[in-house]
Amino acid sequence: MKTVLSGNEALARGAWQAGVMFAAAYPGTPSTEILESLQGYREVHAQWAVNEKVAFDEALGASMGGARALVSMKHVGLNVAADSFMTASYTGVGGGLVVVSCDDPGMHSSQNEQDNRNYAAFAKAPLLEPADSQECLEFVGRAFDLSEQFDTPVLLRLTTRISHTRCVVETDGKRQIPTGRGFAKEPEKYVMVPAYARVRHRIVEERLAALAAFAETTDLNRSESGSGDFGLIASGISYQYAKEAFPEAPIFKLGFSYPLPLRRLREFVASVGRVYVIEELDPFIEERLLAAGIPVRGKALLSLCGEYTPRAIHEAINKDLGRPSPLASGLSPLTSSLPPRPPVLCPGCPHRGILYALNRLKVNVMGDIGCYTLGALPPLLAMDSCVCMGASVGLGVGLDKVSERGRTVAVVGDSTFIHSGIPPLIDMAWNRGAGVLIILDNRTTAMTGRQPTAASSPTGSARTDVLEGAPPLDLVRLCQAAGIEDVAVVDPYRLDQVFETLRRALASERPSVIITNRPCGLLATVERQEPLAIDADLCQGCLQCAELACPALVVEGDQARIVEELCRGCTLCSQVCDFGAVARLKGT
Amino acid sequence: MPDSPDANRGKGATVKADEPFNLLIAGVGGQGVLTLGGLVVHAAVRAGLDVKQSEIHGMAQRGGSVSTHVRIGRKVFSPVIDEGAAQLLVALEKLEALRYLHYLAPDGLLIVDDRAIPPLPVSSGALEYPPDVLDRCRAHAARVEVYSGEALASTIASARMLNTCFAGIVSRHLPFDESAWHAALAECFAARHLEANRQAFDHGRQARPRV
What does the H/E/C string look like for A544-584? Answer: CHHHHCCCCEEEECCEEEECCCCCCCCCHHHHHCCCCCEEE
Q: Which of residues 280-339 of A touch B (CB under 8 A)?
A: 307, 309-311, 327-335, 337-339
- CA closest to A104 among chain B residues: B56
| SS3 (DSSP) at A60 | helix
A463 band by pLDDT with thresholds 50, 70 and 90: very low
In A, which residues are within 8 Å of B188 by CB distance? none
- Smallest Cβ–Cβ distance between A311 and the set B83, B105, B118 belongs to B83
Contact, A319 vs A301, CB < 8 A?
Answer: yes
Q: Does A359 touch chain B (CB under 8 A)?
A: no
Q: Does B50 touch chain A (CB under 8 A)?
A: yes
Q: Which of residues 155-174 of A touch B (CB under 8 A)?
A: 160-161, 164-168
Task: Give the model's pLDDT for residue A557.
Answer: 86
Q: Considering chain A, what percentage of its residues have pLDDT values greater than 90? A: 87
Q: Considering chain A, what percentage of its residues have pLDDT values greater than 70? A: 97
DSSP codes, A313-326:
HHHHHHHHTT----
pLDDT of A588 above 70: no
Contact, B47 vs B81, CB < 8 A?
Answer: no
Specify the CATH number of the domain A222-320: 3.40.50.920
The 8-class DSSP code of residue A340 comes to -
> Of the given ranges (A48-62, A303-317, A453-467, A469-483), which has the lowest mean pLDDT?
A453-467
Which residue would you say has higher pLDDT here, A90 or A463? Answer: A90
Task: Give the model's pLDDT for residue A467.
Answer: 61
Spatial distance between the Cα atoms of A23 and A116, rounded to a whole number of angstroms: 20
pLDDT 10s digits, B115-125: 999 999 999 99
Distance from CA of B32 to the nearest CA of A (A): 16
* Three-state SS annotation for B142-209: CEEEEECHHHHHCCCCCHHHHHHHHHHHHHCCCCCCHHHHHHHHHHHCCHHHHHHHHHHHHHHHHCCC
Q: Which of residues 158-187 of B touch A (CB under 8 A)?
A: none
Instruction: Give all strands (DSSP E) within B48-136, no chain letters.
Output: 50-55, 65-73, 86-91, 104-113
pLDDT 10s digits, A537-546: 999 999 999 9
Q: How many CB atoms are closer than 10 A to CB A95?
A: 24
Q: Which of residues 527-546 of A touch B (CB under 8 A)?
A: 543, 546
Tell me how far CA of residue A577 lies from CA of A220, A342, A557, A580, B127, in angstroms: 64, 26, 18, 6, 22
Adjacent-strand bridge partners of A297: A276
B45:A4 CB<8 A: yes
Q: Does B38 touch chain A (CB under 8 A)?
A: yes
In A, which residues are within 8 Å of B140 by CB distance? 331, 334
- CA closest to A344 among chain B residues: B62
Spatial distance between the Cα atoms of B124 and A339, rounded to a whole number of angstroms: 12
Q: Which amino acid is at B41?
A: V
Q: Which of residues 53-92 of B touch A (CB under 8 A)?
A: 53-59, 61-65, 76-80, 82-85
Q: Which of residues 97-116 of B touch A (CB under 8 A)?
A: 98-99, 101-106
Q: Which amino acid is at A428?
A: M
Specify the CATH number of the domain A532-584: 3.30.70.20
Q: Does A480 touch chain B (CB under 8 A)?
A: no
The values of phi and psi at residue B92, to 5°, are: -85, 0
Spatial CB neighbours of B191, under 8 Å, sequence gap ≥ 6:
none
What is the separation of C-alpha A554 from the centre of its chain, rounded to a whole number of angstroms?
Answer: 33
B96:A165 CB<8 A: no
Spatial distance between the Cα atoms of A513 and A436, rounded to a whole number of angstroms: 6
Angle value at C-alpha A247, between A246 and A253, nearest 5 degrees: 90
- CA closest to B45 among chain A residues: A168
> Of the given ranges (A179-183, B8-12, B50-54), which has the lowest mean pLDDT?
B8-12
- Smallest Cβ–Cβ distance between B80 and the set A109, A161, A551 belongs to A161
pLDDT 10s digits, A194-240: 999 999 999 999 999 999 999 999 999 999 999 999 999 999 999 99
As for the ipTM of the complex, it is: 0.93
Q: How many CB atoms are closer than 10 A to CB A76?
A: 21
Contact, B92 vs B166, CB < 8 A?
Answer: yes
Spatial distance between the Cα atoms of A48 and A467, rounded to a whole number of angstroms: 11
Task: Give the model's pLDDT for residue A518.
Answer: 94
Fold agreement (A222-320, A532-584):
no
A188 band by pLDDT with thresholds 50, 70 and 90: very high
In B, which residues are within 8 Å of A342 by CB distance? 64, 119-121
Average pLDDT over residues A255-273: 98
- Give the containing element (helix H, strand E) for B136: helix B133-140
Spatial distance between the Cα atoms of A581 and A573, rounded to a whole number of angstroms: 9
- Give the containing element (helix H, strand E) for B140: helix B133-140
| SS3 (DSSP) at A534 | strand
Angle value at C-alpha A190, between A184 and A192, nearest 5 degrees: 160
pLDDT of B100 above 50: yes
Adjacent-strand bridge partners of A4: A168
Asked whether residue B196 is domain-assigned, the answer is yes
A179 band by pLDDT with thresholds 50, 70 and 90: confident
CATH number at residue B89: 3.40.920.10
pLDDT 10s digits, A550-566: 999 999 988 999 999 99
Distance from CA of B38 to the nearest CA of A (A): 9
In B, which residues are within 8 Å of A522 by CB distance? 61
| SS3 (DSSP) at A381 | coil
Spatial distance between the Cα atoms of A20 and B55, rounded to a whole number of angstroms: 28
The 8-class DSSP code of residue B103 comes to G
Average pLDDT over residues A406-423: 97
Q: Does A551 touch chain B (CB under 8 A)?
A: yes
pLDDT 10s digits, A304-349: 999 999 999 999 999 999 998 776 566 788 888 899 998 899 999 9
Task: Give the model's pLDDT for residue B18.
Answer: 65
Spatial distance between the Cα atoms of A137 and A141, rounded to a whole number of angstroms: 7
B78:A167 CB<8 A: no
- Smallest Cβ–Cβ distance between B52 and the set A165, A309, A341 belongs to A165
- Which ranges constitute the DSSP H helices of A221-351? 236-245, 262-272, 284-291, 310-320
CATH of A352-516, one of 3.40.50.300, 3.50.30.10, 3.40.1550.10, 3.40.50.970: 3.40.50.970
pLDDT 10s digits, B76-89: 999 999 999 999 99
Distance from CA of B9 to the nearest CA of A (A): 25
Tell me how far CA of residue A400 lies from CA of A256, A366, A486, in angstroms: 48, 10, 17
The 8-class DSSP code of residue A178 comes to P
Topology, domain A2-217: Rossmann fold (3.40.50)
Work out how many CB contacts closer than 8 A connect A with B.
Answer: 165
Report the Cα–Cα distance between both ends of chain A, in Å, rounded.
60
A340:B119 CB<8 A: yes
Adjacent-strand bridge partners of B57: none
Which residue would you say has higher pLDDT here, B2 or A422? Answer: A422
> Of the given ranges (A25-34, A131-140, A578-587, B189-198), which has the lowest mean pLDDT?
A578-587
Which residue would you say has higher pLDDT here, A320 or B18? Answer: A320
B54:A164 CB<8 A: yes
Spatial distance between the Cα atoms of A346 and B145, rounded to a whole number of angstroms: 32
Contact, A413 vs A487, CB < 8 A?
Answer: no
* Three-state SS annotation for A129-142: CCCCHHHHHHHHHH
Owning domain of residue B181: 19-118+132-205
Spatial distance between the Cα atoms of A534 and A536, rounded to a whole number of angstroms: 6
Spatial CB neighbours of A398, under 8 Å, sequence gap ≥ 6:
none
A330:B104 CB<8 A: yes
B61 band by pLDDT with thresholds 50, 70 and 90: low
Task: Give the model's pLDDT for residue A459.
Answer: 47
- Give the containing element (helix H, strand E) for A409: strand A408-413
Please give the mean pLDDT across all residues of chain A. 94
Task: Give the model's pLDDT for residue A327.
Answer: 63
A244:B130 CB<8 A: no
B13 band by pLDDT with thresholds 50, 70 and 90: very low
**Rg of chain A in Å (alpha carbons):** 27
Task: Give the model's pLDDT for residue A102.
Answer: 98
What is the separation of C-alpha B167 from the centre of its chain, rounded to a whole number of angstroms?
Answer: 7
pLDDT 10s digits, B138-159: 999 999 999 999 999 999 988 8
A449 band by pLDDT with thresholds 50, 70 and 90: confident
A460 band by pLDDT with thresholds 50, 70 and 90: very low
Which residue would you say has higher pLDDT here, B14 or A5? Answer: A5
pLDDT of B75 above 50: yes
pLDDT of B16 above 80: no
Spatial CB neighbours of A457, under 8 Å, sequence gap ≥ 6:
A443, A466, A472
Distance from CA of A369 to the nearest CA of B (A): 13
Contact, A427 vs A403, CB < 8 A?
Answer: no
* Count of domains forming chain B: 1
Spatial CB neighbours of A88, under 8 Å, sequence gap ≥ 6:
A56, A60, A97, A123, A153
Distance from CA of A559 to the nearest CA of B (A): 10
Domains in chain A: boundaries: 2-217, 222-320, 352-516, 532-584
Adjacent-strand bridge partners of A66: none
pLDDT 10s digits, A379-405: 999 999 999 999 999 999 999 999 999
Tell me how far CA of residue A254 lies from CA of A12, A148, A425, A440, A545, in angstroms: 22, 21, 45, 45, 56
In B, which residues are within 8 Å of A30 by CB distance? 57-58
Spatial CB neighbours of A409, under 8 Å, sequence gap ≥ 6:
A358, A363, A364, A365, A366, A396, A435, A436, A437, A438, A502, A506
Buried b (16+ CB within 10 A) or exposed e, B61-85: bbbbbbbbbbbbbeebbbbbbbbbb
B20 band by pLDDT with thresholds 50, 70 and 90: very high
Q: Does B42 touch chain A (CB under 8 A)?
A: yes
B59:A109 CB<8 A: yes
The values of phi and psi at residue A255, to 5°, are: -100, -30
- Smallest Cβ–Cβ distance between B53 and the set A165, A237, A379 belongs to A165
Spatial distance between the Cα atoms of A46 and A20, rounded to a whole number of angstroms: 10
Task: Give the model's pLDDT for residue A325.
Answer: 78
In B, which residues are within 8 Å of A344 by CB distance? 62-64, 120
Contact, A154 vs A125, CB < 8 A?
Answer: yes
Spatial distance between the Cα atoms of A255 and A199, rounded to a whole number of angstroms: 30
The 8-class DSSP code of residue B60 comes to G
